[in-house]
Amino acid sequence: MRWMAELSVTGPELDDLIEVSMALDRLSDDDRELVRLTYWEGLSAVEAGRTLGLSDGAVKVRLTRARARLRELLEGRRAVTIRRGSAREVG
Amino acid sequence: MKWDDERVDRAIRAADPAAASLDEGKSQRAQLVLDEILNGRRTDAATRFRPRRSSVRFWAPAAAVLVLVLVMIVAVPLTSTRAVALTPPVLTFDSRTGLTVEDLVDRSITMLSEASAEAEPARGSRFVGWYLDATITDMGSTAVISPQITSVRWNPDLSGRITIVAGEPYSATGGPLPDPRPSGTAEPGTVLSDMTFEAGEYQPLSEVMPGDSSSEMRSFLASYGLPSTYNAGDIMLAVGGAFGEWTLSDRQHASILRLLADAPGAEVLGSGTDRAGRRVWGVRGIPSQADGASSQLMLISADTGRIVGLETMLTRAVEEPPLKAGSVISYTMWDTNEGDLDQ
């Protein structure tokens, strides 16, 4: 019996990129914006807070929770990937 | 490989639509800023760094990357691996009891009503989950399951603390652990995470202490994703979220079980023993949100009537990783004692 190993051939970094992109898409709009400002735009907590109307403490908390949520989604992604997969005997 | 914070951070940064245009110096500064926010390490570089970009399509890269991957999948040769035991063994149940859901719920509620402890719910939870480290090659496969004990405690002022401690790892096949162990396998007792929240920082999905009635429980579980029209599997999914933040009273467990009995789609599997060696009844449901591809197994203590576990299983085989239908892809246990945590 042979199986097509899809994920292994894409490379771990690329897998991560796909999964994190899809997980980011499942965050709330507010959390995505927070991720964008801090991870991508490089804003500090104070600056991001000023943009979003939050205290820097609230930014830290929300970003920590957003990352925790991402981790949760990414761990769950394994299941999501599994759910979307279909067994294919190829040889 | 486990999704630790470092890997999550790296992947998020890699998903930046304009990542390719960032020079190395900017990337380093961006990391310093993140360190400041997430870890409290403040640096001058972090406070000075203010790169700005404008009008970038935020989620464009996901689609682009997906196309790339699809092309790669078509282009690559096949590799051969066999479906192997990668996940925890499936719990077995004795179905000869012939109990209906109503019978089981009635029995459980009787036990719960006779119990004297836990008159009030508690803000927090202690539960056992697991993390899988699997290696699949043409030469063979290994799968190490590492239990993790998570303790969540939070206060009315929304301060709190979350700790995650490694449990005793074990092989999915029941044999000895591979030597050397996978790099992500921690020694039992290792503190994997210890996070403290100041007042106002912890944000549970439902911070109001829930009432006891079934309608109050339904409203409470709605905070954790229970849709307005739900089945037994949906209740189980919501319970999984709620029990991560609250330890509910016996009366509240009883109300959830009433909801379960009244919901469509609950199937009693029978009596058995859970992964902590406790006597349980198993009830299965297929959540409406899961596209029918996975099922939930709720474990109800045969000694206390409380909901003490939740497991997720595949309803059909998948290709990658190669898993058979029925494979356990998630489990969580509550109300565990120290001595129960070896699995």
pLDDT, tens digit, 9 for 90 and up, residues B174-209: 778 877 777 667 788 888 778 788 888 777 888 888
Q: How far is CA B211 from CA A40, B154, B222, in A?
A: 43, 18, 14
Task: Tell me what pLDDT residue B278 has.
Answer: 94
Domain assignment of residue A91, yes or no: no
pLDDT at B252: 95
pLDDT number for residue A87: 26
Give me the residue from A25, A39, A83 closest to B16, CB to CB.
A39
A70: CATH = 1.10.10.10
Asked whether the beta carbons of residue B38 and residue A88 sit closer than 8 angstroms, the reply is no
Chain A positions touching B318 (Cβ under 8 A) are: 82-83, 85-87
Q: Is the pLDDT of residue B24 over 60?
A: no
Greater model confidence, B322 or B167: B167
Cross-chain CB nearest to B72 (options A9, A17, A32): A9
ipTM of the complex: 0.71
Q: E strand or H helix at B66, and its extent?
A: helix B60-75
Average pLDDT over residues A50-68: 81
Any domain includes A7: no
| A vs B: CB pairs below 8 A | 186
Q: What is the pLDDT of residues B241-253, one digit of tens each?
A: 899 889 999 999 9
Q: Which of the four pLDDT bands, split at 50, 70 and 90, describes residue B138? A: low
Question: What proportion of chain B, given as a percentage, has pLDDT over 70?
Answer: 70
Q: What is the pLDDT at residue B18?
A: 63
Largest CA distance in chain B: 69
The answer, yes or no, to whether residue B41 has pLDDT greater than 70, is no
- Select the highest-mean-pLDDT range: A76-80, B6-10, B169-173, B283-287: B283-287
Domain total of chain A = 1
For residue B180, cis peptide bond before it (omega within 30 degrees of 0): yes
pLDDT band of B294, cuts 50, 70, 90: confident
**Residue A67 domain-assigned?**
yes
Q: Which of B14, B17, B69 sits opposite A10 (nearest CB)?
A: B69
Residues B319, A4: C-beta atoms closer than 8 Å? yes
Segments in B5-59 forming alpha helices (H): 5-14, 24-39, 44-48
pLDDT (0 to 100) of residue B105: 96
Residue A49 resides in a domain:
yes
- Does A3 fall in a domain? no
What is the model's pLDDT at position B71? 23
Asked if residue A89 is part of any domain, the answer here is: no
> Minimal CA–CA distance to B113: which of B298, B305, B336?
B305
DSSP B263: S
- pLDDT at residue B327 is higher than 70: yes
CA distance A13 to A40: 18
